[in-house]
Each structure stands twice: as C-alpha cells, then as structure tokens.
C-alpha cells in the first residue's frame, strides 16, 4: 500500500534536535512504514481558480466552465460569458463567487516500460 501524507514540519524545533527530516522519519521503519520519497509541499503546489454562479433552479452555487490557472483568466472568462449572454436565464449573474483551491502534483520515479 502507498499513502500520500502531508506533514507539518517545525523547522526550528527540528533544528534544535540536531537531526534531519530523513533521520527523524527513520523511526517509522520499525513499524513497516518507509519514507520512499518526499517533496517540499510549497514547491509542488499551486492554485487553480473557479467561478461559481447561483443556480436559481437548484438553489445553490454551481461551477461555471472549467478551472483556470490564474484568477485574472477566471474572471475574464466569466465576464466574457456574461457579456456575450451565454448564461442560461436561471443563472443569477449578480451572485458570483471566485474560489481557489490548492493543486498538488506528486511526481513519482520513472519506470522502464
């Protein structure tokens, strides 16, 4: 079994122990859990942005279009759809939210096929 886990590392406290992250993780091997590979979360994460519009039929916010890599592009596409009247009449374009979420990419080792 492989598990994807996110660990919060207090670098100051770790430095006080005089050990490295790898050394501290060795204790898990005693119970059969091996650290195979790790990446700094901040270096493999980014945001994506999504427009949500009030659907008066469903009485909830629903996503419009697909997620975008920048907030500016997300807003631009939404405004274009509103300006070009591409929204169904039951979509309340006065009730709009732009949301963001973190996207993390995990890259494994290359395998010969």
* pLDDT at 41 > cutoff 80: no
Contact assessment for residue 14 and residue 21, using Cβ atoms and an 8 Å cutoff: yes
pLDDT value for 112: 95
Contact assessment for residue 105 and residue 86, using Cβ atoms and an 8 Å cutoff: no
Per-residue confidence band for 16, with pLDDT thresholds at 50, 70 and 90: very high
pLDDT value for 50: 97
| Bridge partners, residue 47, by sequence | 102
Within 10 A of 45 (CB to CB), how many other CB atoms are there?
13
pTM: 0.64
- Range of weakest confidence among 34-38, 50-54, 89-93: 34-38
**pLDDT tens column, 61-106:** 999 999 999 999 999 999 999 999 999 999 999 999 999 999 887 7
What is the rounded average pLDDT of the residues 20-44? 80
pLDDT value for 60: 97
């Amino acid at each position: 079994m492989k598990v994807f886990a996110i660990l919060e590392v207090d670098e100051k406290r770790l430095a006080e122990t005089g050990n490295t992250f790898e050394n501290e993780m060795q204790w898990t091997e005693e119970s059969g859990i091996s650290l195979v590979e790790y990446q700094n979360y901040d270096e493999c994460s980014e945001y994506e942005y999504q427009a949500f519009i009030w659907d008066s039929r469903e009485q909830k916010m629903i996503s419009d279009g697909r997620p975008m890599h920048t907030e500016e592009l997300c807003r631009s596409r939404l405004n274009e759809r509103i300006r070009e009247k591409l929204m169904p009449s039951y979509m309340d374009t006065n009730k709009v939210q732009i949301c963001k979420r973190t996207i993390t990419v995990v890259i494994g080792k290359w395998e010969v096929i």
